[in-house]
Amino acid sequence: MSKAIITCALNGVLTDPRQHHVPVTPAEMAAEARRAYEAGASVMHIHLRQQGPDKGHLPSWDTALSREVQDAIRAACPGVVINHTTGVVGPDYQPALDCVARTRPEMAACNAGSLNYLKLRANGDWAWPPMMFDNPVGKVRDFLEVMTAAGTLPEFECFDTGIVRCVDMYQKNGMFEGTAQLNFVMGVASGMPALPELLPILKGLAPTDSRWQVTAIGRGEIWALHRRTAELGGHLRTGLEDTFYLASGEKVTSNGQLIEEMSQLARETGRVVASPDETRAILGI
């Protein structure tokens, strides 16, 4: 039985703590990480939020806050791997580069291509103003160079099939070395749908020596995709960034509930949930 790494995406950038039970402060992040860790997660994907009153729905790139959050999570979860966000819209992404360069997390997201980030309401109106999540090659290269210097493993975030193909080209072009770590992001309305039947195609488009996992965005219906991921040997991710719902449709209030269900799913498909030490060995960190 192959080992399955479980990542917990603790809070995300769009989830609003005024509406949902997402952690904001370092203490809250550590407490939620501990719940996920005890349920089987060995990687914590983190976003930073502003800490002032009524500011918790806003992103932050404060390096001191990043260190505090990472230290709190590591103290609560011995051996855990930190995966730091780097997603920034627009040309001013130096603060995100600085977070990686100065705090040197074990892993960091590397958004591997651009996407029109869109969603419609039922009446046809835009759910938010249409935006471009811009990740041109020069921006990707900048992040890869900083991650290499920091000893940080890049996780290539792929929102569409063409972006998966780009990772293979980045590798062949020499933009990074070693085994590619891919994250297939599925369920964004203007990206890849959360369909299990897409997984064999995505595996075939990825570099031949790559590791891969799935981020599934949605409600109870996404758990069929998680199950197929486990069956095909992929690594697993869930958390309050990605969903608030179990397969039953029950709404959760903690990351721990989601990771408990993911760990059970992994065992049902014949996988062994990787410990933090096993995760580090698999990832080579």
Q: How many CA atoms lie within 13 A of 49 on its CB side?
A: 27
Q: What is the rounded CA–CA span in Å between residue 116 and residue 89?
A: 11
Helix ranges, the chain (H): 26-39, 63-76, 94-103, 137-150, 161-173, 199-205, 223-231, 255-268, 276-283
- What's the predicted TM-score (pTM) here? 0.96
Q: Which two tokens stand for residue 204?
A: 């075939």
β-strand 115-117 against 131-133: which pairing, if any? antiparallel
Measure the N-to-C terminal CA separation of the chain; round to a whole number of Å. Answer: 22
**CATH superfamily name and code, 3-283:** Aldolase class I (3.20.20.70)
Q: How many residues does the chain have?
A: 285
CA dist list (Å): 276 to 106, 145, 273? 12, 26, 10
Q: What is the rounded CA–CA span in Å between residue 158 and residue 151?
A: 22
Three-class SS state of 130: coil
Going residue by residue through the chain, which has 285 residues, state the pLDDT in tens, using 9 for 90 and above. Answer: 699 999 999 999 988 899 889 999 999 999 999 999 999 999 999 999 999 998 999 999 999 999 999 999 999 999 999 999 999 999 999 999 999 999 999 999 999 999 999 999 999 999 999 999 999 999 999 999 999 999 999 999 999 999 999 999 999 999 999 999 999 999 999 999 999 999 999 999 999 999 999 999 999 999 999 999 999 999 999 999 999 999 999 999 999 999 999 999 999 999 999 999 999 999 999
